[in-house]
């Protein structure tokens, strides 16, 4: 093992993670360095003083290691000292406007750097395209250094402090974030907290036999403890990556790998892991990242005899991360990836006194929107919206239809049974419908992770293809094409009307279709999610300015979403609720701010529908109206 590896302690790891944004770690390690300028850290010390008692208490709940707490505070202080002045100015601005991410003008997009532009420098040249859409939020798929080809789409990270060389450098990332800030766009990056790649320097040291780094993971000589975990811990990918442990021949040990064998679960019971990871988060913040999407966060704490999901210690760690950000870089917010039932979600926001995530991905609403479209029945969707609206006011969501991942059909089975729906039959109907295998289906998609034993499966495809655009174009069926466009716009309008802010999947704004050519690529053919992970079609994007084209109609439709959300009823404190339409095919959502009321009516069926909304004194007057197939109608009161 290289000598430098042996010298990596929690303290040196945290210091190196908070380097200046103008250099990478590889260039920072020089024998002589110029004298560092004196930094006024009074603002940082004042922030830290407000949180010091709570931070100390939380740290002691997990660890009895005072020196590790000192290391964390030292890393925070160094990160503050290295933070560029323009980002400190942004910190002050955001502290004065803590609800900035809840404004009605928030409008997001998610994309892969390489598929959209090639690399970070070329992406910076495409910022005008993003400005055209009045974006305020851009989520780039994982771009930190990763192994090739086995990297789970970038979620297997081998260096949390550096950009992958295929995409650019840290300097390129800092330059991009500066250009985006100037355009009013906040950059979001994934921060994979649960695991590292098996090629991470810690994992390499562990494989070489270093016991210090084996303690960064869960490593066991035999199957005794792994078997005890496996007896109660659910499998993430039982079909493609069964079990929760993998045998490492070089190390001669079993290592916990809940996702894939090349992703080693981190042991947060070791305080050195926490200090190093939080330091890397601060390092990304100093490169100009304004939103950290913490990946697979419910999994990060393990206790033998439990299912290792949503344990209390997870919230302790997320709260400490929030404190670190509020002390060093309060402009930065946390977005959690929590694919859990609504009853599990509130905990990840924390409380008003001790907040955790600022916002979460709205996975459940995404799934229920697609379920409502296929079944022409909004009852499950309405119930799910009601449950989310009942969460405390600090709970905020990023709403979306499609992203880099599949559609996992995790519907509320208890509610399904209550209204007479067989959960398994409904799930089978949905994934076969979006596969295009149900009579009357307009969709073209594919299954992902089909399990013949449990009959579980997920669905892949772009929004346009799942809404019927692709099939209509292939069959030259103009009426079907028009209906497909209406479905696409209906889904986007309904999504954008809900509590939270909308995020488009790049390509949906121009109706990009499935990328079936992935089947011709040996490196991609095994993962059907690549169906909706294709290169952005710039030739098709040019058609957005040509009236009557698919691209133009959807582009203008997305502009309509932004115009809709310019209404005062999309203020952060607006009251939002569903309303009974006396028609299962139509969803009604009411937004109210001050004396202004806005009703959104969404017909999820391919037939004309009549709706009747009962009046309520002080809220809305009685409303009766008709809707065309797949129509979204707004009513101002």
The answer as to whether 438 is a domain residue is no
pLDDT for 34: 60
Compute how many other C-beta atoms are within 10 angstroms of the C-beta atom of residue 90: 20
Say whether 219 sits in a helix, a strand or coil: strand
The whole-number average pLDDT for the span 308-332 is 97
Compute how many other C-beta atoms are within 10 angstroms of the C-beta atom of residue 550: 22
The answer as to whether 66 is a domain residue is yes
Share of the chain above pLDDT 90, in %: 86
Active site residue 215: no
Q: Is the domain of 280 the same as that of 349?
A: yes
pLDDT for 453: 87
Average pLDDT, the chain: 93
pLDDT for 5: 35
Length of the chain: 637
Residue 257 pLDDT greater than 50, yes or no: yes
pLDDT for 374: 98
The answer as to whether 478 is a domain residue is no
> 288 near 177, Cβ under 8 Å?
yes
The whole-number average pLDDT for the span 318-339 is 95
Q: Is the domain of 133 the same as that of 242?
A: no
| Rounded CA separation 302/311 (Å) | 8
Q: What share of the chain is helix, strand, coil (3-state, %, to 5)?
A: 45, 20, 40
Q: Is the domain of 260 the same as that of 279?
A: no
pLDDT in tens, 49-63: 999 999 999 999 999
Query: Which CATH number is 234's domain given?
Result: 3.90.400.10
What is the 3-class SS of 347-367, one letter each residue?
HHHECCCCECCCEEECHHHHH
Active site residue 337: yes
The answer as to whether 8 is a domain residue is no
pLDDT for 36: 62
* Banded model confidence at residue 354, pLDDT cuts 50, 70, 90: very high
* Banded model confidence at residue 6, pLDDT cuts 50, 70, 90: very low
| CA geometry: angle 132, 137, 141, nearest 5 deg | 105
Q: Dihedral, CA atoms, 194, 197, 201, 204, nearest 10 degrees?
A: 110
pLDDT for 16: 40
**Of 28-32, 335-339, 525-529, which has the strongest mean pLDDT?**
525-529
Q: Which residues contact 421 (CB under 8 A, 6 or more apart)?
A: 380
Identify the domain boundary among 337, 361, 385. 361
Q: Is the domain of 152 the same as that of 291?
A: yes
**Of 4-13, 24-33, 231-240, 555-564, which has the strongest mean pLDDT?**
555-564
* Banded model confidence at residue 32, pLDDT cuts 50, 70, 90: low
> 287 near 298, Cβ under 8 Å?
no
Burial of 153 (0-12, 13-18, 19+ CB in 10 A): middle
The whole-number average pLDDT for the span 570-593 is 96
Query: Which CATH number is 345's domain given?
Result: 3.20.20.80
| Rounded CA separation 16/8 (Å) | 10
The answer as to whether 23 is a domain residue is no
Pairing of strands 291-295, 333-336: parallel
**Which tops the pLDDT comparison, 405 or 239?**
405
Which of these ranges, 6-20, 166-180, 310-324, has the smallest mean pLDDT?
A: 6-20
pLDDT for 122: 98
Identify the domain boundary among 361, 388, 417. 361
Nearest to 256 by CA among 266, 245, 243: 245
| Rounded CA separation 72/11 (Å) | 8
> 410 near 367, Cβ under 8 Å?
yes
The answer as to whether 402 is a domain residue is no
Say whether 270 sits in a helix, a strand or coil: coil
> 341 near 412, Cβ under 8 Å?
yes
Q: Is the domain of 171 the same as that of 293?
A: yes
- 277-295: b (≥16 Cβ within 10 Å) or e: bbbbbbbbbbbbbbbbbbb
pLDDT in tens, 393-402: 888 999 999 9
Q: Is the domain of 73 the same as that of 168?
A: yes
Residue 92 pLDDT greater than 60, yes or no: yes
- Catalytic residue (one of 71, 164, 295, 631): 295
* Residue 617, domain extent: 575-636
The answer, as to whether pTM is greater than 0.85, is yes
pLDDT for 37: 66
Nearest to 351 by CA among 304, 302, 318: 318
> 579 near 613, Cβ under 8 Å?
yes
pLDDT for 282: 98
pLDDT in tens, 435-494: 999 999 999 999 998 989 899 999 999 999 999 999 999 999 999 999 999 999 999 999
pLDDT for 170: 98
* Banded model confidence at residue 637, pLDDT cuts 50, 70, 90: confident
| Rounded CA separation 232/308 (Å) | 9
pLDDT in tens, 510-533: 999 999 999 999 989 999 999 999
Identify the domain boundary among 225, 247, 265. 265
Instruction: Compute CA distances 513 → 360, 401, 469, 559, 577, whole Å.
Output: 27, 15, 8, 20, 34
| Rounded CA separation 179/117 (Å) | 16
Q: Is the domain of 287 the same as that of 138?
A: yes
Q: Is the domain of 57 the same as that of 166?
A: yes
* Banded model confidence at residue 392, pLDDT cuts 50, 70, 90: confident
Residue in this structure with the two tokens 């209509």, named with its chain if needed: 472
- Catalytic residue (one of 265, 337, 508, 509): 337
Q: Which residues contact 607 (CB under 8 A, 6 or more apart)?
A: 585, 629
Which of these ranges, 143-147, 234-238, 250-254, 502-506, has the smallest mean pLDDT?
A: 234-238
State how many domains the chain has: 3
pLDDT for 238: 84
pLDDT for 237: 85
* Banded model confidence at residue 103, pLDDT cuts 50, 70, 90: very high
| Rounded CA separation 76/329 (Å) | 10
Q: Is the domain of 96 the same as that of 244?
A: no
**Which tops the pLDDT comparison, 153 or 513?**
513
Burial of 312 (0-12, 13-18, 19+ CB in 10 A): exposed
Rg, C-alpha atoms of the chain: 25
| Rounded CA separation 363/184 (Å) | 26
Residue 214 pLDDT greater than 50, yes or no: yes
Instruction: Compute CA distances 360 → 194, 457, 463, whole Å.
Output: 17, 24, 21
pLDDT for 342: 72
The whole-number average pLDDT for the span 100-107 is 96
The answer as to whether 304 is a domain residue is yes
Q: Dihedral, CA atoms, 292, 295, 298, 303, nearest 10 degrees?
A: -110
| Rounded CA separation 100/290 (Å) | 12
Say whether 67 sits in a helix, a strand or coil: helix
325 dihedral zone (left: phi>0; alpha: psi -120 to 50; beta): alpha
Q: Is the domain of 212 the same as that of 281?
A: no
| Rounded CA separation 263/154 (Å) | 11
Q: Which two tokens stand for residue 514?
A: 């499935």
pLDDT for 23: 37
The answer as to whether 163 is a domain residue is yes
Q: Is the domain of 64 the same as that of 167?
A: yes
Query: Which CATH number is 605's domain given?
Result: 2.60.40.1180
Q: Is the domain of 154 the same as that of 226?
A: no
């Amino acid at each position: 093992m290289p000598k430098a590896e042996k010298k990596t302690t929690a303290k040196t790891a945290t210091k190196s993670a908070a380097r200046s944004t103008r250099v990478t770690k590889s260039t920072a390690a020089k024998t002589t360095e110029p004298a560092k300028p004196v930094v006024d850290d009074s603002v940082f010390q004042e922030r830290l003083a407000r949180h010091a008692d709570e931070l100390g208490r939380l740290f002691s709940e997990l660890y009895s290691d005072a020196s590790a707490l000192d290391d964390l505070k030292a890393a925070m202080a160094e990160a503050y000292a290295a933070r560029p002045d323009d980002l400190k100015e942004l910190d002050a601005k955001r502290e004065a406007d803590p609800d900035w991410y809840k404004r009605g003008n928030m409008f997001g997009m998610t994309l892969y750097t390489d598929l959209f532009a090639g690399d970070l420098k070329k992406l910076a040249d495409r910022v005008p395209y993003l400005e055209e859409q009045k974006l305020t939020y851009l989520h780039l798929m994982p771009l930190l250094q990763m192994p090739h080809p086995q990297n789970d789409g970038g979620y297997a990270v081998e260096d949390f402090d550096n950009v992958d060389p295929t995409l650019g450098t840290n300097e390129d990332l800092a330059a991009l974030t500066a250009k985006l800030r100037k355009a009013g766009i906040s950059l979001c990056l994934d921060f994979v907290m649960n695991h590292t790649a098996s090629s991470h320097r810690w994992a390499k040291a562990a494989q070489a036999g270093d016991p210090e780094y084996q303690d960064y993971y869960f490593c066991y000589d035999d199957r005794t403890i792994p078997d005890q975990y496996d007896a109660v811990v659910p499998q993430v990918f039982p079909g493609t990556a069964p079990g929760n442990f993998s045998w490492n021949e070089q190390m001669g040990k079993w290592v916990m790998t809940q996702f894939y064998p090349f992703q080693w679960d981190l042991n947060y019971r070791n305080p050195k892991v926490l200090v190093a990871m939080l330091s890397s988060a601060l390092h990304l913040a100093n490169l100009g990242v304004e939103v950290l999407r913490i990946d697979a966060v419910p999994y990060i704490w393990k206790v033998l005899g439990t299912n290792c999901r949503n344990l209390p210690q997870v919230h302790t760690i997320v709260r400490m991360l929030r404190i670190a950000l509020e002390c060093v870089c309060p402009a930065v917010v946390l977005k959690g990836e929590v694919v859990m039932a609504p009853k599990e979600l509130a905990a990840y926001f924390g409380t008003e006194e001790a907040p955790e995530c600022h916002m979460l991905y709205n996975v459940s609403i995404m799934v229920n929107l697609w379920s409502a479209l296929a079944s022409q029945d909004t009852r499950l969707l309405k119930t799910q919206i009601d449950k989310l609206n009942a969460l405390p006011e600090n709970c905020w969501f990023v709403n979306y239809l499609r992203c880099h991942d599949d559609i996992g059909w995790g519907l509320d089975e208890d509610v399904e049974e209550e209204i007479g729906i067989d959960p398994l039959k409904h799930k089978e109907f949905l994934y076969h419908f979006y596969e295009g295998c149900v009579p009357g289906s307009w969709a073209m998609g594919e299954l992902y992770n089909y399990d013949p034993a449990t009959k579980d499966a997920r669905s892949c495809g772009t929004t346009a293809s799942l809404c019927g655009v692709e099939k209509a174009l292939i069959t030259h069926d103009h009426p079907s094409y028009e209906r497909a466009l209406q479905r696409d716009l209906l889904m986007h309008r309904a999504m954008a009307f809900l509590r939270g802010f909308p995020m488009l999947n790049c390509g949906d704004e121009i109706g990009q279709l499935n990328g079936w050519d992935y089947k011709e690529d040996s490196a991609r053919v095994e993962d059907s999610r690549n169906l909706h992970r294709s290169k952005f079609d710039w030739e098709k994007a040019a058609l957005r300015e040509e009236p009557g084209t698919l691209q133009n109609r959807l582009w203008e439709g997305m502009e309509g979403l932004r115009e809709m959300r310019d209404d005062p009823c999309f203020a952060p404190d607006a009251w939002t609720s569903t309303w009974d339409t006396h028609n299962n095919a139509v969803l009604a959502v009411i937004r109210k701010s001050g004396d202004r009321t806005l009703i959104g009516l969404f017909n999820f069926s391919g037939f004309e529908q009549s709706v009747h909304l009962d009046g309520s004194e002080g809220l809305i007057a009685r409303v009766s109206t008709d809707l065309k197939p797949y129509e979204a109608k707004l009513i101002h009161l």
